[in-house]
Amino acid sequence: MHQIDKVYINGEFVTPKGSALFDLYNPATGAVNGQVRLANRDDAQKAIAAAKAAFQAFSQSSKETRLALLQRLYDAVVARADDITAAVVEEYGGPVSMMSQWTTMAAQNFLDMADTLESYDFTQKIRASDVVMTPIGVVGIVIPWNSNVGFITSRLATAIAAGCCTVIKPSEMSALQTQVLCECLHAAGLPNGVFNVVTGTGIEVGAEIARSPDVAKISFTGSTAVGKDILRASADTMKRVTLELGGKSPTIILDDADLDAAVPLILAAGFLNSGQACIAGTRVLVAREKHDELAQKLVAAMNDIVVAEPTDPASRIGPMVSRKQYERVQGYIIKGIEEGADLLAGGPGHPEGLGGYFVRPTLFGNVDNAMTIARDEIFGPVLCLIPYEDEEQAITIANDTDYGLAAYVMSSDPARAGRVAERIDAGRICINGFQHEPQAPFGGFKQSGIGRQYGVHGLESHLEPKVIMGR
Ligand code: NAD
């Protein structure tokens, strides 16, 4: 049984003032495997005060100092990569083959931001004026459970590059992996107060960060509903916000696409992170005359997807993170059947031989884009196959959503796919693949968020331009 009873404030692991206990579960079995003692408002305030005090000196630190810290953070995470992966697999249920790659990517976030920082000029000239890009202040980092380690490293890397100090509030469901990661970050030897980690509930700790006048910016990743609460709470103190929210991304299969090549990409995009991914391509748009052929190929390929214990190296889809998430996905599968979509694979209940929070990877065919399963973010391995009449209608359906985070376009003619991509309202569009560019801006259109992470766009969202004239 894991007992996590410390938070990290001002360079030390300390016992929180909060005394509420939260049970941790192994999602592969549903059994309790630990407890975390949650931080409360007082702990949040202490963490904010520590970050505010540290900001005085850290905001003045040189580029060389920050580059050295980013390198030390990278080294410290790499040194314990296996421990981090083991904690994520046990606590979150992500398949080990994928989670070990994600730990590597999480460490890499520090080096990617160091690359950005190295070539960034904090003083720019506009005619005779100096535009000095100035660290914004204390940054509140509020994040979800679906990629806890990667979110902490990427958001912290950006804040450090900018010269900002941070208060990080992970999900209470990520306490174990947060503890291991905190030990790594501590080993990197940052100045006290530059990062503080207070695991607690959103209503208690998250809301305190959003309300505090001493927090200049919130970098939030999570649901659109909570993102709206954060935006409202931030208005009173005019906080800057970066909001990375939900998605319902389209995968558009143009009528000239090679279906055999498209199938693995559709499944990779749709079932990424066991379907618990903001960028999952969950609405698969296909020309009506190709619908049945693609459906058959997808069902055949889904039979080969290994759904198994996350510790099994062959596993490609693990359990949902929690009972709540399991029930949410079950509810949507039942809703899809009730609304009249064709259930082509999967369905309600557990996969054979598995319990815990495992769900059956599910494919619905002949889905209408107005159905609930095509509109709501399900956050599980449930795909909707939506027929369209022509390219124009495919674009209309793709854009007929409240979200706009990612999109995927497949075609044997990349130039044609590029023309379609330009008409899709989404922050990131991949053509014939599942590409990633860590220096390119990442974020959403419409209700998928505000602002961008990564690279220069992410860095500048932590800086205020100050114009000095006449010197
Ligand atoms: P969530 O919105 O419920 O919680 C996210 C974080 O906000 C948690 O730490 C939570 O404790 C905190 N929180 C909750 N209420 C709060 C409040 N009133 N004030 C301040 N903080 C509060 O999201 P979740 O269920 O943990 O994660 C899944 C969601 O995250 C999905 O919608 C997914 O699409 C989204 N997500 C988006 C991205 C992206 O980059 N766009 C990436 C990953 C996940």
- Local confidence band at 164 (pLDDT 50, 70, 90 cut-offs): very high
Tell me what pLDDT residue 127 has.
97
User: Which ligand 1 atom minimizes the distance to the CA of 233?
Assistant: 19
Q: Is 244 in the pocket of ligand 1 (CB under 6 A)?
A: yes
Render pLDDT for 100-129 as a digit per residue (tens, 0 to 9). Answer: 999 999 999 999 999 999 999 999 999 999
Three-class secondary structure of residue 232 per DSSP: helix
Render pLDDT for 280-314 as a digit per residue (tens, 0 to 9). Answer: 999 999 999 999 999 999 999 999 999 999 999 99
Record the tokens describing residue 449, joined without a space.
Answer: 């968020």
Q: Is 278 in the pocket of ligand 1 (CB under 6 A)?
A: yes
Percentage of residues of the chain with pLDDT beyond 90: 100
Read off the amino acid at residue 80. Answer: R
User: Which ligand 1 atom minimizes the distance to the CA of 170?
Assistant: 9
Q: Is 206 in the pocket of ligand 1 (CB under 6 A)?
A: yes
How far, in Å, is the centroid of ligand 1 from the Cα of 456?
24
- What letter would DSSP give residue 245? -
Residue among 143, 221, 244 whose CB has most ligand 1 atoms within 8 A, to mutate = 221
Where are the strands (E) in 411-454, listed by range?
428-431, 449-450
Three-class secondary structure of residue 259 per DSSP: helix
Read off the amino acid at residue 460. Answer: E
Tell me what pLDDT residue 377 has.
98
Render pLDDT for 195-226 as a digit per residue (tens, 0 to 9). Answer: 999 999 999 999 999 999 999 999 999 999 99
> Cα–Cα distance between 44 and 209 in angstroms, integer?
7
User: Which ligand 1 atom minimizes the distance to the CA of 169?
Assistant: 9
Q: By C-alpha distance, which of 403, 406, 405, 407 is closest to 447?
A: 403
Render pLDDT for 232-275 as a digit per residue (tens, 0 to 9). Answer: 999 999 999 999 999 999 999 999 999 999 999 999 999 999 99
Edge-to-edge strand list for the sheet holding 281-287: 342-347, 360-365, 382-388, 281-287, 249-253, 406-410, 428-431
Nearest protein Cα to ligand 1, atom 17? 202
- Local confidence band at 152 (pLDDT 50, 70, 90 cut-offs): very high
> Cα–Cα distance between 373 and 367 in angstroms, integer?
8
Nearest protein Cα to ligand 1, atom 19? 207
Q: Is 229 in the pocket of ligand 1 (CB under 6 A)?
A: yes
Task: Report the chain's terminal Cα–Cα distance, integer Å.
Answer: 62
- Local confidence band at 342 (pLDDT 50, 70, 90 cut-offs): very high
Q: Is 245 in the pocket of ligand 1 (CB under 6 A)?
A: yes
Tell me what pLDDT residue 124 has.
96
Tell me what pLDDT residue 356 has.
98
Helices and strands, counts by H and E, the chain: 15, 21
Q: Is 328 in the pocket of ligand 1 (CB under 6 A)?
A: no
Nearest protein Cα to ligand 1, atom 43? 278
Mean pLDDT, to the nearest integer, of 132-152?
A: 98
Tell me what pLDDT residue 461 has.
98
Mean pLDDT, to the nearest integer, of 33-37?
A: 97
How far, in Å, is the centroid of ligand 1 from the Cα of 90?
21
How far, in Å, is the centroid of ligand 1 from the Cα of 125?
39
> Cα–Cα distance between 365 and 387 in angstroms, integer?
8
User: Which ligand 1 atom minimizes the distance to the CA of 247?
Assistant: 34
Q: Is 309 in the pocket of ligand 1 (CB under 6 A)?
A: no
Place of tokens 């198994």: 308
Residue among 223, 242, 276, 375 whose CB has most ligand 1 atoms within 8 A, to mutate = 223
Tell me what pLDDT residue 364 has.
99
Which are the contacts of 203, defined by CB distance < 8 A and separation ≥ 6?
Answer: none
Nearest protein Cα to ligand 1, atom 12? 202
Tell me what pLDDT residue 432 has.
98
Tell me what pLDDT residue 66 has.
98
How far, in Å, is the centroid of ligand 1 from the Cα of 176?
18
Tell me what pLDDT residue 155 has.
98
Record the tokens describing residue 47, joined without a space.
Answer: 């963490």
Mean pLDDT, to the nearest integer, of 359-385?
A: 98
Render pLDDT for 67-97 as a digit per residue (tens, 0 to 9). Answer: 999 999 999 999 999 999 999 999 999 999 9
- Local confidence band at 352 (pLDDT 50, 70, 90 cut-offs): very high
* Active centre residues (catalytic): 244, 278
Nearest protein Cα to ligand 1, atom 20? 206
- Local confidence band at 388 (pLDDT 50, 70, 90 cut-offs): very high
User: Which ligand 1 atom minimizes the distance to the CA of 442?
Assistant: 40
Nearest protein Cα to ligand 1, atom 26? 144
- Local confidence band at 371 (pLDDT 50, 70, 90 cut-offs): very high
**For all residues of the chain together, what is the average pLDDT?**
98
Tell me what pLDDT residue 177 has.
98
Q: Is 460 in the pocket of ligand 1 (CB under 6 A)?
A: no
Tell me what pLDDT residue 443 has.
98
Tell me what pLDDT residue 173 has.
98
Give the CA distances from residue 370 to residues 78, 282, 359, 383, 453, in Å, rounded to whole numbers and listed in that order: 46, 14, 24, 15, 31
Secondary structure string (H, E, C) spanning 125-185:
EECCEEEEEEECCEEEEECCCCCHHHHHHHHHHHHHHHCCEEEEECCHHHHHHHHHHHHHH
Please state the pTM of the whole predicted model: 0.97
Percentage of residues of the chain with pLDDT beyond 70: 100
